[in-house]
Amino acid sequence: MSSVFDPPAPTGTGRQPLTGVALAERLRAAVAGQVHTPGEDGYRLSAAGFNVATEHRAAAVVVAAGAADVAAAVSVANAAGYTVTVQATGHGASPTPPHSILIDTALLDAIAIDPDGRTATVGAGVRWQEVLDAAAPFGLAALAGSSTSVGVVGYTLGGGLGPIARTYGFAADHVTVMEVVTADATLRRVTPETEPDLFRALLGGGAAFGIVTQMTFRLFPIRSLYAGGLTYRMDDAATVLRAWRNWVATVPETVTSSVAVLNLPPLPEIPEPLRGATVLHLRYAHVGDAAEGAALLQPLRSVASPMLDTIAEMPYAALASIHNDPVDPMPAADRSTLLRELPDAAIDALLEAAGPARGLPITMTEIRALGGALARESLSPTTVAGRQAAFNVLAVGVLAPPIAAAVPAALDTVIDAFSTWSLGAATPNFTRDPHGRSAAETMAAWTAGQRERLVEARRRYDPAGMFGPAARWTMPAR
């Protein structure tokens, strides 16, 4: 079996890495945007992202004013022998080593909706809620994730598994054009026709091949959903989980759903009786007629009496209310795995590992039902991972005192509980650690053919490993 490694910093022949001061001066002369170095307030503010546990030690942060700044920063990095990492919102941020430059794309925030062509074109700093709000007046919808404060580009490059994914597939399946700065500092217009290998590698392979500064993707004629959540007491969890597992095999592709064991904190903003409780939250979204959506859900509504039922017809732009993911920055860690099946024994394992009796410091353990459009190859070429899986498991913990040190082992305990039914693989969007076991699991999510194409594309477009620290996977040794 091939080993994995992090490509070295691209310090090619004749290039001497600059010191921090000299690097900053070179960058300031090259870009229109701001450049910050460690110790400056601007560095801290620009490097800060949603996941505040991400450690940034980059020699400089470039706040790009446009695609030209991204290309210029990559050119400086190439000449000076530095690696490059990109960040927009910091939800899936990668740690940055000292010998690197962090490019902040938050200011690339332009949005253009083409209602006739049913497409959106967005800059790399745009968040999903902004797209939903811009498309809604035209009766159009984008394939956003469960958290709409997430950046569009990073989410899509990792595949993009959202609340209506069984109906329309992954977000990556519907990209038509990208503007990309590659390691040679060239700004390329990438389509399936012009650069099919790069197009395919980016969509599913992530940030290992270049920095996407702009993306165009399809929109869909959806104004509303029948969607929301059912919250159950843990006494009913085993019954509900078994019923849900059986039910997902019968519902049409218009339905996307998940279940999550939530350990809710004792915060005053959480209403009783949910405050400080462990509950089972069933998330549901139906694309189509609300009456049909209610009829499809009825078997689950009748299994047990929910503590809370928020499922109703809702504007599509209110998509985030289905999962109610956190909106404020926090220190978080997670692990995930793809499952081939969810037998009764796997449900028992979930409740034993993530339930209240075990007392692990885990905020959420979620199981998403896959299949439907997710299992089909898209019309456009992609390298999206995990189409063969039946379910995705995600465990999340908050790295806050006094439990922070115990969270990583707790995440391992929960995910390892599913080992009998796991594919031994995890998709890039649900992998926060690009090293060790997580890297191997990410590689395992792709087919052998996909891995071969990704490795070939990375050797072609980033042979020196400039974007290595930003990748969610590592290159196999030759």
3-class SS of residue 123? strand
| Cis amide prior to 271 (ω within 30 degrees) | no
Average pLDDT, the chain: 92
What number of CA atoms fall less than 13 Å from residue 447's CA on the CB side?
Answer: 9
Report the percentage of the chain scoring pLDDT > 90: 79
Instruction: Count Cβ atoms below 10 Å from residue 252 Cβ, excluding itself.
Output: 13
Of the pLDDT bands very low, low, confident and very high (cuts 50, 70, 90), residue 5 is: very low
- Tell me if 246 sits within 8 A of 254, measured CB to CB: no
- Tell me if 160 sits within 8 A of 210, measured CB to CB: no
Per-residue pLDDT, 259: 99
- All domains in the chain, ordered by first residue: 17-104 (3.30.43.10), 111-221+447-466 (3.30.465.10), 224-443 (3.40.462.20)
242-268: average pLDDT = 97
The model's pLDDT over 91-119, given as tens digits with 9 standing for 90+, comes to: 877 788 899 999 999 999 999 999 999 99
The model's pLDDT over 306-352, given as tens digits with 9 standing for 90+, comes to: 999 999 999 999 999 999 999 898 899 999 999 999 999 999 999 99
The CA distance from 469 to 297, in Å, is 44
- Tell me if 12 sits within 8 A of 464, measured CB to CB: yes
Q: What is the DSSP letter of 30?
A: H
Per-residue pLDDT, 2: 30
Of the pLDDT bands very low, low, confident and very high (cuts 50, 70, 90), residue 475 is: low
pLDDT at 207 over 70: yes
3-class SS of residue 339? strand
The model's pLDDT over 382-415, given as tens digits with 9 standing for 90+, comes to: 999 999 999 999 999 999 999 999 999 999 999 9
Per-residue pLDDT, 3: 28
Per-residue pLDDT, 147: 96
Give whole-number Cα distances, 374 to 275, 384, 385, in Å.
Answer: 35, 10, 10
Per-residue pLDDT, 52: 85
The model's pLDDT over 431-472, given as tens digits with 9 standing for 90+, comes to: 765 345 677 888 899 999 999 999 999 999 999 999 976 665
- Tell me if 118 sits within 8 A of 218, measured CB to CB: yes
3-class SS of residue 433? coil
The model's pLDDT over 158-195, given as tens digits with 9 standing for 90+, comes to: 999 999 999 999 999 999 999 999 999 999 999 999 99
**pTM to 2 decimal places:** 0.94
Question: Is the Cα dihedral 381, 385, 389, 392 positive or negative?
Answer: negative
Question: Is the Cα dihedral 305, 310, 355, 414 positive or negative?
Answer: positive
291-316: average pLDDT = 97
53-59: average pLDDT = 88
pLDDT at 254 over 60: yes
